[in-house]
Structure 1
Amino acid sequence: MERNLISHLAHADHPIAAPISEDNLERLLVRARPPARARILDLGCGEAAWLVRALSLYPDATADGVDLTDSGFARAKEEAERRGVADRLRLHRASAADFTAGEPYDLVLCVGATHAFGGLAPTLDAVRAHLRPSSGLALVGEGFWERPPSPGLLVRLGAEPDEYADLAGTVARAENAGYATVYGHASTLEEWDEYEWSWTGSLTRWALDHPGEEGESALSAAREHRELWLDGYRGVLGFVTLLLRRV
């Protein structure tokens, strides 16, 4: 089964495609405090959960969401309609790395999608190209090592030891890229567990409801993911969302 479809099905009960609770998502957006009539961009928006909530919080803002697949767009539009913000949301099926716009943005998000740019540093370089000079803000979510991973775990993850830093090193990487850290949220173990149980559980439920080749493929993916999480990176891989200001 295609990876994008697996991800779409797995996020059915947790549309925030990161280990972040609804309350903490809103807290981060409130902390951002974009200016009046803000332009907001999400690179790798998925189901646009961040943008829909941001438009609800800031009724004069407009937003663009970009994702390589439109599998989450129908759900995003439905939620935007429900919240009364659909007229201020534009969704673009495109590569986040190739997206261009005619005007800069006041707030640019890239949470859990830094792989689209090849890591944190190139993500921050790409984000800067979209930000309003001096006053532009970024919300960027990235993994970090809660504790050093074992060589065996690195092999299972297909990762290098320096793919992530520890929390202090992750903040340093962001600031070395030309940003000041305004705020941050390190996801709790409870947020991780809620995310992973939802991810594997939603995919498992879909698989059991759809017997056949695709169902078997989805069930296998759910089991493999759960094993890698529970017997691998749980408590080792962390996630931090940084609110950054361009300097």
Structure 2
Amino acid sequence: MERQLISHLAHADHPIAAPVSEESLERLLVRAKPPARARILDLGCGSAAWLVRALSLYPDATADGVDISDTGFAEAVEEAGRRGVADRLRLHHGPAADFAADEPYDLVLCVGATHAFGGFAPALDAVRGHLRPAGLALVGEGFWERPPTPELLALLDAEPGEYADLAGTAERAEGAGYATVHAHTSTLGEWDEYEWSWTGSLTRWALDHPGPDGEAALSAAREHRDMWLKGYRGVLGFVTLLLRRA
């Protein structure tokens, strides 16, 4: 099965594709306080959970979502219609790094999708290119809660410097020309809810679809669960930074 389809199935019951609860998501969007008639952009939007909630909170805002996979767009349109915001949401299928707009945005999101730009630093540069001078960004990135072992780095196919610790992550953002105005550090409970949902949703789908695709999905779920429970649980953290151009 394609990786994008596996990810889509795994997020069926947790459309926020990051270890962030719905309550934390809403608090971050409320803290952002975009101006009237705000333009909002999500780079790597998935099923647009952040944008649909933002449009519900800010009834005069408009939003664009960009993702290389459109497998979540149908659910995004359905949820946007249910909340009455579909007419203010535009979805674009294509690489986030290639997206171009005629006007800048008041709020730009890139949560759990910095890999689309090759990492945290290039993602911050790309986000800044879409922001108004006084605009804000919500950028979610991993960090090391404690130093990873060589075995974990091999398991994740990661380099030691791929992530910093929490302080270093904030310093990297500020070194890229931002000021941090707020942040949310995901709790272990948020991580557990996200990971159990990821592996459980994929496992349920696999059991309901016996055959080669079901076997592939079940294998992916078990591999991911082992990587989490036996590897990065309590080692890899996640922080969502609310940033303003300095």
Q: Distance in 2 between matches of 1:153 and 1:83?
A: 42
- Per-residue CA deviations over 1:135-176 (Å, capped at 9, x if unaligned) read 010000000000000000000000000000000000000000
Q: Distance in 1 between matches of 2:110 and 2:60?
A: 22
Aligned partner letter, 1:143 = G
Aligned partner letter, 1:126 = A
- Per-residue CA deviations over 1:197-247 (Å, capped at 9, x if unaligned) read 000000000000000000000000000000000000000000000000012
Name the structure 2 match of 1:48. Answer: 48
- The Cα shift of 1:67 comes to 0.2
Q: How many residues align?
A: 246
Name the structure 1 match of 2:118. Answer: 118
Name the structure 2 match of 1:36. Answer: 36
Q: Distance in 2 between matches of 1:7 and 1:219?
A: 13
Alignment TM-score, normalising by the size of structure 2:
1.00
Aligned partner letter, 1:91 = L
Look up the SS of the partner of 1:81 in the other structure.
helix
Q: Distance in 2 between matches of 1:202 and 1:127?
A: 31
- The Cα shift of 1:112 comes to 0.1
Asked if residue 149 in structure 1 is aligned to residue 148 in structure 2, the reply is yes
Look up the SS of the partner of 1:107 in the other structure.
strand
Q: Distance in 2 between matches of 1:214 and 1:38?
A: 42
Q: Distance in 1 between matches of 2:148 and 2:228?
A: 13
- Per-residue CA deviations over 1:45-93 (Å, capped at 9, x if unaligned) read 0000000000000000000000001000000000000000000000000
Name the structure 1 match of 2:131. Answer: 131
Structure 1 residues without counterparts, runs of 5 or longer:
none
Aligned partner letter, 1:17 = A
Name the structure 1 match of 2:236. Answer: 237
Asked if residue 195 in structure 1 is aligned to residue 194 in structure 2, the reply is yes
Q: Distance in 2 between matches of 1:129 and 1:94?
A: 18
Asked if residue 104 in structure 1 is aligned to residue 104 in structure 2, the reply is yes
Name the structure 2 match of 1:69. Answer: 69
Q: Distance in 2 between matches of 1:69 and 1:166?
A: 30
Name the structure 2 match of 1:20. Answer: 20
Query: Identity across aligned pairs (percent)?
Result: 83
Alignment TM-score, normalising by the size of structure 1:
0.99
Q: Distance in 2 between matches of 1:128 and 1:142?
A: 16
- Per-residue CA deviations over 1:9-64 (Å, capped at 9, x if unaligned) read 00000000000000000000000000000000000000000000000000000000
Structure 1 ranges of 4+ moved more than 6 A: none
Q: Distance in 1 between matches of 2:18 and 2:99?
A: 22
Structure 2 residues without counterparts, runs of 5 or longer:
none
Q: Distance in 1 between matches of 2:179 and 2:32?
A: 13
Aligned partner letter, 1:165 = A
CA RMSD of aligned residues (A): 0.3
- The Cα shift of 1:99 comes to 0.2
- Per-residue CA deviations over 1:99-121 (Å, capped at 9, x if unaligned) read 00000000000000000001111
Name the structure 1 match of 2:89. Answer: 89
Q: Distance in 1 between matches of 2:42 and 2:158?
A: 26
- The Cα shift of 1:98 comes to 0.3
